[in-house]
Amino acid sequence: MPVTKEDLGRIATAVGYEIPEQDVDDFTTLLERARQTFEAVSAMDDYQPAPDFNLTPRLNVYFPQEAENPLGAWAWRCECAHASPSSTTLEGKTVCLRDNIALAQVPCLLGTESFTGWTPQMDATVATRVLEAGARIAGKAVCENLSRGAVSSGTAALVASGAVDLGIGCDQGGSVRIPAAMCGLYGFKPTFGLVPYTGIASNDASVDFVGPLTRTCLECATLLGVLAGADGLDDRQGAGCPFPGQVPRYADELEASRADGAKGLRIGILKEGLEGAAMNAAVKAKFLAAAKVFKEKLGAAVVEEVSVPMHASSRAIYSVLSKMGNHMGMLGRATGRRQVMLTDLAARKGLPYTPDALGKMSAFSREGLLAGELGWSDYPLVYGKAVNLARRLRDDYDAALRRYDLLVLPTTLRATFPLPVAHMDAGRGMTENTASFNGTGHPALAVPIGFVPSEADPSTMVPCSLQIVGKFWDEMTVLKAAYAWEQTVDWKSF
């Protein structure tokens, strides 16, 4: 329908402008021209990469029943393998994808009932790469509601239980590293842009990461080597990102270095990473004991405390980026991108959200939407300041990393806990040491280091985790240090 004067009044009110009467006809004509342009582009065919279903057929796609899904970790099952893979790096391995990662012809639930029925038309780059490496994708693993929250993960559950060999998760504040910490796994959030995010539902592009969850460090290095490298589609991949043929041979170098991978390293224990209000005494003690291993058994040149005072403010800075950035994405208003846009997902959301759709969101998702609106309406300048402060935070970590090869800190401040637990309370103490590196982009690896008593039930022992943070594009040093620790210590009895 053509733009009317009533439409013009509604739109002008929304941007806070009262159009003078003498200008109403002119602006109505101008908006009608704009409407025709919008209509013309809306009518065009979309343009997304098309999978070759002859080479990668999707077989046995179905929703698993409770009997074959005892952990409730599978979102959807399928069988997908490449008929002629280009390598055998992952031959014989089964992989699960977090259920915000697109796999064409396999429904994607995104952990929500706010909208349903999205079946992607394209494959995420990471899905394509594991298939080309000879792996079989066995299905999709449940994720948090709209990827908000970080206290549960179907990917981690499936890998830890042995249901699959390898998992690919997404980390917008800790959702690879925190589930890895809870389940005794390795979880790697690589350098910003190293692994392409193409074909994955976004939280906010500035904090989006995708990476491996595995049972061993060598498996983590192997999977990272398959996933990494520019794909020419993800605009997160800037200067420094290698092309696939230039990706370091992480696994080969780990096997060559073995227990010598930490020799001569200078390692800084991040002081502020041990000072949060939620810091659990048993977690702190276990972490400090694990850190000593680098010096006492692995030949590190230095293992000492280092202070980065701004780390104490890092979660607040990240929260502004995440809440205000994600808010615009949830409303379908994210701009400034040069990547593959998941327009079919945006259409499925049925924006604007209805009260029924909002009611079906988790408390985390509703809080994020409301907090984002509060930020943009009452603090419109704070997002830009958070962007600048995140860069300052990166500079501060980089200054420490000029003195040290690696930084270490507990992955989480609290031990994991048996479910169920009040969902919002379960997040306390979980992202204080993880979200900062989403904001800065540094590579960070969660490493299992033993067991500590659960806060909910001290008679129950639960996994504990150490986080290793490295310089930009230096995943190799991070992995070598972790592999040396793994080769020397049996974490399950440490």
> What is the residue extent of each domain of the chain?
1-32, 58-493
> Could you give the percent of the chain with pLDDT greater than 70?
97
CA distance 176 to 312: 22
pLDDT at 426: 55
> Could you give the percent of the chain with pLDDT greater than 90?
80
**Does the domain made of 58-493 have the CATH classification 3.40.309.10?**
no
Q: Is the C-alpha dihedral spanning 310, 315, 318, 323 positive or negative? A: negative
| Residue range 363-372, pLDDT digits in tens | 778 888 888 8
| Residue range 334-388, pLDDT digits in tens | 888 889 999 898 888 877 888 887 788 777 788 888 888 899 999 999 999 999 9
The region of weakest confidence among 6-15, 39-48, 178-187 is: 6-15
**Of 155, 154, 134, which is closest to residue 85 (Cα–Cα)?**
134
Strands 302-306 and 210-214: unpaired
Buried b (16+ CB within 10 A) or exposed e, 174-188: bbbbbbbbbbbbbbb
Mean pLDDT of 394-402: 98
pLDDT at 331: 82
Residue 483: alpha-carbon gap to chain centroid: 23
CA distance 473 to 478: 10
Judged on CB neighbours under 10 Å (0-12, 13-18, 19+), 387 is: middle
416 pLDDT more than 90: no
237 pLDDT more than 80: yes
DSSP summary character for residue 200: B
pLDDT at 349: 81
427 pLDDT more than 70: no
CA distance 476 to 213: 17
Better-predicted residue by pLDDT, 429 or 473: 473
435 pLDDT more than 70: yes
Mean pLDDT of 399-423: 84
Overall residue count recorded for the chain in this entry: 494
Phi, psi of 98 (to 5 degrees): -60, 145
Reading across the β-sheet that carries 186-189, which strands appear in turn?
58-62, 74-81, 136-141, 94-98, 166-170, 210-214, 186-189, 444-453, 461-469, 406-410, 266-270, 302-306
Predicted structure pTM score: 0.95
Q: Which of the four pLDDT bands, split at 50, 70 and 90, describes residue 423? A: low
474 pLDDT more than 80: yes
DSSP summary character for residue 83: S
424 pLDDT more than 60: no
Mean pLDDT of 192-221: 96
150 pLDDT more than 80: no
403 pLDDT more than 90: yes
The CA-atom distances, in angstroms, between 457 and each of 100, 212, 418, 452 are 33, 30, 8, 11
pLDDT at 417: 67
CA distance 117 to 112: 11
Q: Which residues contact 149 (CB under 8 A, 6 or more apart)?
A: 362, 364, 423, 427
Q: Which of the four pLDDT bands, split at 50, 70 and 90, describes residue 73? A: very high
288 pLDDT more than 70: yes
Q: Which of the four pLDDT bands, split at 50, 70 and 90, describes residue 116? A: confident
Cis bond upstream, residue 57 (ω within 30): no
Mean pLDDT of 410-418: 85
CA distance between the termini of the chain: 70
| pLDDT, mean over the chain | 93
Which residue type, as a one-letter code, is found at position 458? P
CA distance 345 to 119: 8
The region of weakest confidence among 128-142, 362-376, 478-492 is: 362-376
